[in-house]
Amino acid sequence: MSSEPQFFDQPGGVVGKPLVRVEGREKVTGKAKYSAEFPLPGLTYGVLATSTIAKGKIQNIDTTAAAREPGVIAVLTHQNLPKLAKTPNDAAGKKDIGAPMGFLPMTSDEIFYSAQPVAMVVADTLDHAIHAATLVKVTYQAEKPIASFHDSRAELFNPAKVQDGKEDGHKRRGDAKSAFASAPIQLTATYTHPVYNHNPMEPGSTTAHWEAPDRLTVYESTQGVTRTQSSLVAMLGMPREQVRVITKYIGGGFGCKGSTWPHTILTIQAAKAVGRPVKLMLTRKQMFTSMGHREDQSQTVQLGATADGKLTALIHTKVSTTSPWDNYAESNSKIIDLLYATPTFEASYEMARANVMTSTFMRAPGEAPGSFALECSMDDLAARLGVDPIEIRLRNYADHDYSTGQPWSSKSLKQCYARGAELFGWSKRNPKAGATRDGRYLVGMGMASASYPVHNSQGSARARLYADGHAVVQSGATDLGTGTYTVMTQVAADSLGLPMDKVRFELGDTNLPTAPNSGGSVAAGTVSSSVYLAVQDVWQKLIKVAVADKKSPLYKAKPEDVTAEKGRLFLKKDASKGEAFGDLMKRAELTDVEGMAQGKYGPGYESGHSASPAGPGNNTESASAHSMHSFGAHFCEVRVDMDLGTVRVSKWVSVIGAGRILNSQTARSQIIGGAIFGIGSVLMEATERDANYSRYTNADLANYHVPVNADIPDMTVEFVEENDPYINAMGVKGIGEISMVGVAAAVANAVFHATGKRLRDLPLTPDKVMMAGLAS
């Protein structure tokens, strides 16, 4: 284990400080170039025409009218699109590509889901392309689609694996069924939610530029340039060096930009076909059917407990809708398995194929819906026994990870409960549900625990320090808009002992050292650790120069006796013996020194083992001595107008323990963003799929409701100080997803406390809340 980089916490350091974004000015002045904003000579515009049916075959595509329109360069369909080296249409291809979907549209005449791309028009202007796309006339041989697992014709099956083969479809720990059967307290409840769509502000976009037949550059809105590159390389059958992917800025992703979806490769193929660069940006409507969604699902939790509220068994079953080709279901059961000291556990998955697109990971995949089910059931247990919701959680506090038997690398959940309760004023909570009024409103307080795994991941970075006192630091990471540019500049600045404005951090390009996808909350930890270690590599190189330099105060010192801090190399034992790097470099006539390193999570992270380029298949979790998770607690107050069914969140507190916090302002923003994401999911979000047509009826932002300012109160966020020496060189766990875990339950528990009604079918719109009151 490497020594904790203590100097970050010293006076004058910038790591952890609430600094504004380094790229903020570029963004607000419009200088920041998003992926659809690269002007290329001869650029053309692609627009997709999509299927109006959900199942069947294309009988005929008539492209003559579209092709005749002014400005139209090509109308591409499955009949004339260039062929690929590999498609995901067979299992081997899917695996090699790392594709989320086992089917690529426009490779055959088959229609599997509604709004499936059937043609792409390429034209000289966007307007021409949009209009021509409406003139592509397709006739279909339509069949009746299956819309979801609710469909009476849907066939349920138990998949061996879920979440893209990453998780088992069935898990047992001890004999949960017997333990449940003999438990003095038995609670069984079913929780449901509809389809959710990520809907980042910036839709997916691709600009494909074949600079030569063997040189492709793609400007892509992706959460990971390397992962996108890997998929493209596999599909195109080209060497990695010939495919460059660039993503300088992203307007949010939430998981939907974590994989390579059909529109990307179709645009690349179109660019090849027309011999000019092609830009395609998905429309908002297409965003509902082009980059995955969180699947519609039903979960049943059976909770067995002793008379004093100690869990004896948890049994979880999930039924969900999947696509015609993939067994995708978020693995909700993981968090249910490990959040509490549960001696026995069993989980199983059922799914049905329907004529829908493949679902995919969406912020806290599995943990978000899983925590909703578990944390509502825990709240039920507390209510049943007349015990405070925090107390019931403390009675079941897991002092190690029951799902694996491993000790935690660190866990501050008790502190989160205590601090959250204090900030929120939890002690004022009336123990009785449905008993607190403020005028017309029923007032309720709810809470829930949060946890999110620290995924094993690795990345690399390069640091180049110049003798004149500035530095360029690079890593092929992506900044989802959450602050990667800023926090990495902070880490580099402190590691180098330079002011922020002397450090430039570059990212988002496959020509840079590879980094993992910004997903699964791994970016902050791996990339900051890579940056930190790359700078250490710089220092090691300079120390070697110093100890060999007769004019250096460090001449003939043993390299291991020398250290670097604040831009100065000195003897560990005698700090007065040393010199500034600039003096050394000038004397040695070095204009710059470059360091490289790999940062990774888990045991041995400090060794800087080299990693093959990040990509599908090599980010498997390795067995490790510790179970690594972040934890937190959310507290919510709601005001419910029971007559009209409206629920308003009136107070919010989140307290999170997630290792080192790199920037308290961008971190706070992430927690707020995640909490609002969760509030949307519990109160209003729903993509409505028509049961007869298997097509969405509210695929726009007027009718797919996400919270607006008026829905959100002032929010309080705090982080518990946490030093985790096991996770990575920087001790950073990541916070992008834990921010939303448990949020839905905290709100639903507050609604229960306000009204005495337990609502388990999301979202909790006024119709459901009002009708629940009526049912009393």
Partner 1 sequence: MNNFAYTQAASTKEAATAAQADKQAAFISGGTSLIDLMKSNIEQHTLLIDLNKLSLLGIENSAAGLRIGALERMSDVGEHPQVVQNYPVVSQALLASASPQLRNMASMGGNLLQRTRCGYFRDTAFPCNKRVPGSGCPAQTGDNRTLAILGGSPSCIATHASDLAVSLVALEAKLTIESPKGQPRTVPLADFYKLPGSTPHIENHLAPGEVITAITIPAAAHARRSHYLKVRDRASYAYALVSAAVGLDVQGGTIRSARVALGGVGTVPWRVPAVEQALVGKSATEDTFRAAAALAVRDASPREHNKFKLELAQRTIVRALLEVAA
Torsions phi, psi of 314, nearest 5?
Answer: -130, 130
User: Site map for partner 1, 125-164, x if CB under 8 A?
Assistant: -----xx--x------------------------------
Residue 623 or 774 having the CB closest to partner 1: 774
Among 109, 705, 715, 761, binds partner 1 (CB under 8 A): 705
**Alpha-carbon span 92 to 222, nearest angstrom:** 24
Among 57, 688, 725, 758, binds partner 1 (CB under 8 A): 688
Question: Minimum distance between the CB of residue 704 and partner 1, rounded to whole angstroms?
Answer: 10
Q: Which sign does the torsion angle of CA 523, 524, 527, 529 carry?
A: negative
Question: Minimum distance between the CB of residue 755 and partner 1, rounded to whole angstroms?
Answer: 15
**Alpha-carbon span 278 to 134, nearest angstrom:** 19
Among 707, 734, 736, 756, binds partner 1 (CB under 8 A): 707
499 Cα distance to chain centroid: 31
* Beta carbons within 8 Å of 230's beta carbon, 6+ residues apart: 98, 240, 613, 615, 616
Site for partner 1 in 268-287 (CB under 8 A): 285
Contact between residue 485 and residue 452 where contact means Cβ atoms under 8 Å apart? no
Residue 51 or 344 having the CB closest to partner 1: 51
What the block records as the tokens of 745 is 């339950």
End-to-end CA distance of the chain: 59
Among 187, 189, 238, 770, binds partner 1 (CB under 8 A): 770
Among 702, 714, 775, 776, binds partner 1 (CB under 8 A): 702
Site for partner 1 in 76-115 (CB under 8 A): 114-115
Under the criterion CB under 8 A, does residue 684 sit at the interface with partner 1?
yes
Q: Which residues pair with 634 in a beta bridge?
A: 448, 654
Under the criterion CB under 8 A, does residue 713 sit at the interface with partner 1?
no
Under the criterion CB under 8 A, does residue 695 sit at the interface with partner 1?
yes
Among all chains, which residue has been given the structure tokens 């927690």? 671
149 Cα distance to chain centroid: 26
Q: What positions carry a catalytic annotation?
A: 737
Among 178, 182, 692, 723, binds partner 1 (CB under 8 A): 692
Question: Minimum distance between the CB of residue 701 and partner 1, rounded to whole angstroms?
Answer: 10
Under the criterion CB under 8 A, does residue 644 sit at the interface with partner 1?
yes
Under the criterion CB under 8 A, does residue 52 sit at the interface with partner 1?
yes
Q: Which of 44, 306, 74, 264 is nearest to 179 (CA)?
A: 306
Residue 605 DSSP symbol: G
Contact between residue 675 and residue 537 where contact means Cβ atoms under 8 Å apart? no
CA geometry: angle 35, 40, 46, nearest 5 deg? 65
Contact between residue 759 and residue 769 where contact means Cβ atoms under 8 Å apart? yes
Q: Which sign does the torsion angle of CA 491, 493, 499, 501 carry?
A: negative
Q: Quick one: which segment of 322-330, 492-500, 702-710, 716-724 binds partner 1 (CB under 8 A)?
A: 702-710
Bond before 559 cis per omega within 30 degrees: no
Among 646, 650, 665, 716, binds partner 1 (CB under 8 A): 646
Residue 355 or 403 having the CB closest to partner 1: 355
Site for partner 1 in 523-542 (CB under 8 A): none
User: Site map for partner 1, 648-677, x if CB under 8 A?
Assistant: x-----------------------------
Phi-psi region of 271 (alpha: psi -120 to 50; beta: other; left: phi over 0): alpha
Question: Minimum distance between the CB of residue 212 and partner 1, rounded to whole angstroms?
Answer: 36
What the block records as the tokens of 605 is 């992270």
Among 698, 715, 725, 758, binds partner 1 (CB under 8 A): 698
Under the criterion CB under 8 A, does residue 767 sit at the interface with partner 1?
yes
Q: Contact positions toward partner 1, by CB under 8 A?
A: 52-53, 114-115, 130-131, 134, 285, 643-646, 648, 683-684, 688, 690-693, 695-700, 702-703, 705, 707-711, 765-767, 770-771, 774
